[in-house]
Structure 1
Amino acid sequence: MKPLDQHRAPIYEGLERLRRKRIVPFDVPGHKRGRGNPELVALLGKKCVSIDVNSMKPLDNLGHPISIIREAEELSAAAFGASHAFLMIGGTTSSVQTMILATCQAGQKIILPRNVHKSVINALVLCGAIPVYIEMSVQEPIGIALGLETERLAQAIAEHPDAVAVLVNNPTYYGICSDLKEIVNLAHASGMKVLVDEAHGTHLSFSDKLPQSAMQAGADMAAVSMHKSGGSLTQSSLLLIGEEMNAEYVRQIINLTQSTSASYLLLASLDISRRNLALRGKESFEKVMEMAQYARQEINAIGGYYAYAKELVDGQKVYDFDVTKLAIYTQGIGLTGIEVYDLLRDEYDIQIEFGDIGNILAYISIGDRLQDIERLVGALADIKRLYARDGKDLISGEYIQPQVILSPQNAFYDERESLELQEAVGRICGEFVMCYPPGIPLLAPGELITQEIVDYILFAKERGCSLQGTEDPEVKVVNVIKEDS
């Protein structure tokens, strides 16, 4: 086996070789290097469309890689400290779902926090595993769920020794990190796999000034959103696995749902971005940390806002904090996060990642510049001056943990009926209700609908949150399990 060279980008190099040969295409895609769709060429550019090609021997095959894609996987694994890496073209949703489908079967238990992304619960619907939710502490007054506490995990393991896996999202959207090493130790001591939703932690592998990554902590699998902080194209992701996992079995699970027509644009973007991080990631993310810290200082100096960071660390509920995250509590100026989010976009032409009831998140990555930070800070100061109010009409953004009555799979496929939100109080939810982003369900199939949750949903709707998941696009009614079913 030839030594790995992180200067290589084998998929990109293979596409360049193909492009120079000027092969006549009698295969798909039907636009034939763009000749059949000039408007697409005008939008994306000739070079981009010319490498939107199908699998062929010189370009390998994502479902069964033996040459350039296999080499790109090996380079990615080495860059992230994994035993193996899979290039994923279905987003980190597909990576998360593969982790669960590869470790959990119908009726088996998985221990996890409730503030997981919808892709996790979707996977439980697909495979029939039973969630064992650990209660999460909440940071007051900002209302965000904190880390997976090891004492509570130990208790859950003791109460459910038959569970097969533990899943943790680390870091969270808001930058909260759990004690991954101790989580791994506790789970492995009981024969359980550790799965990490590391969608927001691509950068953790490339700086010793950041919290420990999943692979560094000894996790069995980790889903990494390369397109978030790693610089690759949207919908491209990595799935990393440790030494104890059977890589080819995991590939079989991936191939159950993955497209057989993999996008070489996405694959090449993963290849090039991995090379960039391996060669320049450390210095790049140090700049990101500096920009985020500067932004926090400037925003906190405005007054009213609270851009939080390592001061939240207590060693248990918040074991560590990802300082690249610029999460800001906004209710101190009397506005919800979604209101500030809308004002930034509509009045200042600034698009941030999301706004919820209490917070906004401005995603800072390797593509940001200091002048962009200055523009954001200036806009937030202006919003406070022009729009601040007393906030007496606000409700807390406090995270609410629903009560699970039925498994997600049983509830999702059970007979349902539609009720107005207020009429649904006391019934079992049959679908998802979530604000997106961040995509953490307020309600999932099988959970009890309470008045507190309904009030939260109505307030979120009133303030402009994008509610999704229900059959009703306006979220006026919700599907519940029929009582006689």
Structure 2
Amino acid sequence: MDKERQKQAPIYTALERFRRQRVVPFDVPGHKRGRGNPELVQLLGEKCVGIDVNSMKPLDNLCHPVSVIRDAEELAADAFGAAHAFLMVGGTTSSVQSMVLSTCKPGDKIILPRNVHKSAINALVLCGATPVYIDPKVDKRLGIPLGMEVEDVRAAMEANPDAVAVFINNPTYYGICSDLKSLVKLAHEHNMLALVDEAHGTHLYFGPGLPCPAMRAGADMAAVSMHKSGGSLTQSSILLLGPNIDEGYVSSVINLTQTTSASYLLMSSLDISRRNLALRGAESFSRVVDMAEYARREINEIGGYYAYGSELINGGSIYDFDVTKLAVYTRGIGLTGIEVYDLLRDEYDIQVEFGDLSNMLAYISIGDRIQDIERLVGALADIKRLYSKPETNIFTSEYITPVVAATPQRAFYAEKEYLPIEDTAGRICSEFVMCYPPGIPILAPGEVITKEILDYIRFAKEKGCSMQGPASSDISHLYVLKE
């Protein structure tokens, strides 16, 4: 990485130059630097609405960058150690889908863990590829899916030698990392591409002593959520390419779905955040690691909770652990993660990332302070004292092995019927059901609905998980394939 060159921020510089010119706008957006919408100015500020502009020659165009956006993408590629980088304004959902859509054609097979984000399965609906799912190992106590075992992936490749790619989550929401280098090497030995959903791994490229990131492992593509741990605005992302990928073709695929009116607020935030990480990332994420480890120690001293970390590493299904992730098992105090999540927000004005049926996750990143950590620890101690119950073991896992009866695309577009959810056992689902976050489907199109899955959905609803996916807003009905 060229540290001197990384001091540049070409999109930001171009916007500052443009702002000083006081150009009279006879183009979109129609709020005309905020003059037509004073309430928007009051909410966002004059500077923000003043650079909410449309593509024009001095500011380049994301659909076909030739100047400042191209320069920003080259700087991003240099910072992340990639052959090319695309700035993405449709979130990492669009980055994940672009990886899959540029790799798979209708009928192609792709090997992937079933605990993928819904964006990956949505991509299969769009392109018509056939998933070859690998069931992740599960930590029964913590109720979380683990990483991809090398031997499981090898077996799937040998059983499906015609698969075109393997898709890898790394790290997971919970901080679990697979043996990325070995998985990439295995994919290439079988003439398959290695695609990495690195939504939760921006910091791996910059923080000292953290698990290996995708580009360093030799992956062909990686989707990076800069807005999660990288400091950019929500919905901004970067798609990284390795040296053997045709960037022109990937660009064509991105432009099938990406907006032609890309937000300069999002793009400039990517530009500035990349510069910040390149220049100060090592120092910043060293502090993040220290804060997360401190929080882990303090929470574990409370008793009842278990803030897990690198002690889980087993060299296989947990090959490494991202210690910046502060995931806390809560069932030891008799509460689900979503119950602790709700109490923290409603009673203590603390918003954590998510709660599931066994865990809660506090996202620690470059904007956090040690006094905020102290407040979280104090609130958790208070919750244990005031709200704890006898420990129960109703469900032992956040992951239920699916029975796949049809491809996602065929099930999504098939003739279907709308049934009360309690009448759907044994039928093939035509839509998604998930808790969001984390957005990992409990049911996906093409999967058989079982009593175990229905019991899980019912329990998750009762405990207050935010359920989404089906057309039915209250999850009372499901679309299933017509018999």
Band of TM-score, shorter chain: over 0.9
User: Where does 1:35-46 land on structure 2 (aligned, <5 Å)?
Assistant: 35-46=35-46
Q: Which amino acid aligns with 1:344?
A: L
1:249 alignment counterpart:
249
1:260 alignment counterpart:
260
In the TM superposition, residue 4 of structure 1 has moved relative to its aligned partner by 7.0
Does the Cα contact within 8 Å between 2:331 and 2:392 map onto a contact in 1? no
Measured in 2, the distance between the counterparts of 1:248 and 1:85 equals 12
Q: Which amino acid aligns with 1:166?
A: V
Task: With the length of structure 2 as denominator, give the TM-score of the two structures.
Answer: 0.99
In the TM superposition, residue 419 of structure 1 has moved relative to its aligned partner by 1.6
Q: Which amino acid aligns with 2:469?
A: G
User: Where does 1:457-468 land on structure 2 (aligned, <5 Å)?
Assistant: 457-468=457-468
1:88 alignment counterpart:
88
In the TM superposition, residue 394 of structure 1 has moved relative to its aligned partner by 3.6
**Alpha-carbon distance change, 233 to 47 in structure 1, aligned in 2, over 3 angstroms:** same
Q: Which amino acid aligns with 2:305?
A: Y
Alignment deviations for residues 451-478 of structure 1 (CA, whole Å, 9 cap, x no partner):
1110000000000001000000000111
In the TM superposition, residue 420 of structure 1 has moved relative to its aligned partner by 1.8
User: Where does 1:120-199 land on structure 2 (aligned, <5 Å)?
Assistant: 120-199=120-199
Secondary structure of the structure 2 residue equivalent to 1:184: helix
1:328 alignment counterpart:
328
Does the Cα contact within 8 Å between 1:128 and 1:409 map onto a contact in 2? yes
Measured in 2, the distance between the counterparts of 1:380 and 1:99 equals 40
1:209 alignment counterpart:
209
Measured in 2, the distance between the counterparts of 1:344 and 1:394 equals 23
1:432 alignment counterpart:
432
**Alpha-carbon distance change, 4 to 240 in structure 1, aligned in 2, over 3 angstroms:** farther
1:230 alignment counterpart:
230
In the TM superposition, residue 199 of structure 1 has moved relative to its aligned partner by 0.1
Measured in 1, the distance between the counterparts of 2:105 and 2:145 equals 28
Give yes or no for the alignment of 1:33 onto 2:33: yes
Measured in 1, the distance between the counterparts of 2:479 and 2:177 equals 34
In the TM superposition, residue 187 of structure 1 has moved relative to its aligned partner by 0.5
In the TM superposition, residue 3 of structure 1 has moved relative to its aligned partner by 10
1:371 alignment counterpart:
371
Across the two proteins, how many residue pairs are aligned to each other? 482
2:58 alignment counterpart:
58
Does the Cα contact within 8 Å between 1:96 and 1:120 map onto a contact in 2? yes
Q: Which runs of 5+ in 2 are unaligned?
A: none
2:415 alignment counterpart:
415
1:403 alignment counterpart:
403
Give yes or no for the alignment of 1:107 onto 2:102: no
Does the Cα contact within 8 Å between 1:143 and 1:398 map onto a contact in 2? yes
Alignment deviations for residues 114-156 of structure 1 (CA, whole Å, 9 cap, x no partner):
0000000000000000000012111120110000100000000
Does the Cα contact within 8 Å between 2:140 and 2:397 map onto a contact in 1? no
2:444 alignment counterpart:
444
Does the Cα contact within 8 Å between 1:4 and 1:75 map onto a contact in 2? no
Q: Which runs of 5+ in 1 are unaligned?
A: none
Does the Cα contact within 8 Å between 2:411 and 2:481 map onto a contact in 1? yes
In the TM superposition, residue 422 of structure 1 has moved relative to its aligned partner by 2.0
Measured in 2, the distance between the counterparts of 1:393 and 1:244 equals 49
1:301 alignment counterpart:
301
Measured in 2, the distance between the counterparts of 1:460 and 1:254 equals 35
2:278 alignment counterpart:
278
Does the Cα contact within 8 Å between 1:357 and 1:396 map onto a contact in 2? no
Does the Cα contact within 8 Å between 2:417 and 2:481 map onto a contact in 1? yes
Measured in 2, the distance between the counterparts of 1:37 and 1:390 equals 54
Measured in 1, the distance between the counterparts of 2:392 and 2:48 equals 52
Measured in 1, the distance between the counterparts of 2:395 and 2:3 equals 58
User: Where does 1:378-393 land on structure 2 (aligned, <5 Å)?
Assistant: 378-392=378-392
Measured in 1, the distance between the counterparts of 2:371 and 2:394 equals 33
Does the Cα contact within 8 Å between 1:336 and 1:394 map onto a contact in 2? no
Does the Cα contact within 8 Å between 2:334 and 2:392 map onto a contact in 1? yes
Measured in 2, the distance between the counterparts of 1:3 and 1:272 equals 14
**Alpha-carbon distance change, 394 to 3 in structure 1, aligned in 2, over 3 angstroms:** closer
Does the Cα contact within 8 Å between 1:334 and 1:394 map onto a contact in 2? no
In the TM superposition, residue 243 of structure 1 has moved relative to its aligned partner by 0.1
Secondary structure of the structure 2 residue equivalent to 1:218: coil
Measured in 2, the distance between the counterparts of 1:280 and 1:398 equals 37
Q: Which amino acid aligns with 2:375?
A: R
In the TM superposition, residue 363 of structure 1 has moved relative to its aligned partner by 0.3
Measured in 1, the distance between the counterparts of 2:11 and 2:393 equals 55
1:359 alignment counterpart:
359
Q: Which amino acid aligns with 1:479?
A: Y
Secondary structure of the structure 1 residue equivalent to 2:151: helix
Secondary structure of the structure 1 residue equivalent to 2:228: helix
Task: With the length of structure 1 as denominator, give the TM-score of the two structures.
Answer: 0.98
Q: Which amino acid aligns with 2:169?
A: N
Alignment deviations for residues 24-79 of structure 1 (CA, whole Å, 9 cap, x no partner):
00000000011111100000000010000000000000000000000000000000
Does the Cα contact within 8 Å between 2:96 and 2:223 map onto a contact in 1? yes
Q: More deviation in 389-398 or 438-447?
A: 389-398
In the TM superposition, residue 397 of structure 1 has moved relative to its aligned partner by 3.4
Does the Cα contact within 8 Å between 1:110 and 1:166 map onto a contact in 2? yes
Measured in 2, the distance between the counterparts of 1:16 and 1:453 equals 53
Q: More deviation in 206-215 or 227-236?
A: 206-215
Secondary structure of the structure 2 residue equivalent to 1:215: coil
Does the Cα contact within 8 Å between 1:137 and 1:146 map onto a contact in 2? yes
1:12 alignment counterpart:
12
In the TM superposition, residue 391 of structure 1 has moved relative to its aligned partner by 3.1
Q: More deviation in 397-406 or 381-390?
A: 397-406
